[in-house]
C-alpha cells in the first residue's frame, strides 16, 4: 500500500514551490545564496544542493550541476524585496555580487545585480508609503 496523503493535499492546479539554477559550480553558488538569503544548506548531493526555505516563506532555491554555463542573459531572474537597498547592496557586493543596473519606477527603487555565476537578480526597495 502506498501513502498518497501528500498527493491528496495538493490542489488541482500547479503550486510554485521553488527555483532551480543551472550552474557548473553548485557549491560556489549555494554558498553565495545561502549567505545572501541567510538560510542553511538543507540537502546536498554531487549534482544538486538545496537551500532551506526562509522562515514563513515557501519558495526554495536549488543549484543543479550542468556541463556548461548558459550563454547570454538568464531568461528568468529572482526578485528579492529588501528593507534597505543600501544595506542589501553592500552585503551582496561583500558576498561577491556585481552591480549591473539601477532603476526607479512607480516609487520602487531596485538594483539589478549578478551572482558569482553571472545570474542576474533584483534587490527591490518598495516605496516609503508601502505601495504605489
Q: Note the pTM of the prediction, 2 decimals.
A: 0.75
pLDDT of the chain along its 132 residues, tens only?
444 544 457 676 767 778 989 999 999 999 999 999 999 999 999 889 999 988 877 788 888 899 988 888 777 888 898 989 999 999 999 999 999 999 998 888 999 999 999 999 999 998 887 654
Domains plus CATH for the chain? Answer: 16-66 (3.30.720.120), 76-132 (3.10.180.10)
Q: How far is CA 82 from CA 26, 33, 87, 119, in A?
A: 25, 15, 9, 19
Query: Under a CB-based contact definition with an 8 Å cutoff, are residues 108 and 127 in contact?
Result: yes
Amino acid at each position: 500500500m502506498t501513502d498518497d496523503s501528500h498527493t491528496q493535499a495538493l490542489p488541482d492546479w500547479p503550486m510554485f514551490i521553488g527555483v532551480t539554477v543551472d550552474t557548473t559550480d553548485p557549491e560556489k553558488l549555494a554558498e553565495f545564496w545561502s549567505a545572501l538569503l541567510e538560510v542553511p544548506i538543507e540537502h546536498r548531493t554531487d549534482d544538486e544542493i538545496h537551500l532551506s526555505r526562509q522562515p514563513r516563506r515557501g519558495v526554495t532555491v536549488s543549484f543543479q550541476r550542468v556541463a556548461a554555463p548558459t550563454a547570454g542573459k538568464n531568461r528568468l531572474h529572482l526578485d528579492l524585496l529588501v528593507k534597505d537597498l543600501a544595506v542589501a547592496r553592500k552585503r551582496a557586493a561583500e558576498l561577491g555580487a556585481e552591480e549591473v543596473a539601477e532603476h526607479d519606477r512607480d516609487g520602487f527603487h531596485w538594483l539589478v545585480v549578478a551572482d558569482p555565476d553571472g545570474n542576474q537578480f533584483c534587490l527591490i526597495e518598495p516605496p516609503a508609503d508601502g505601495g504605489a
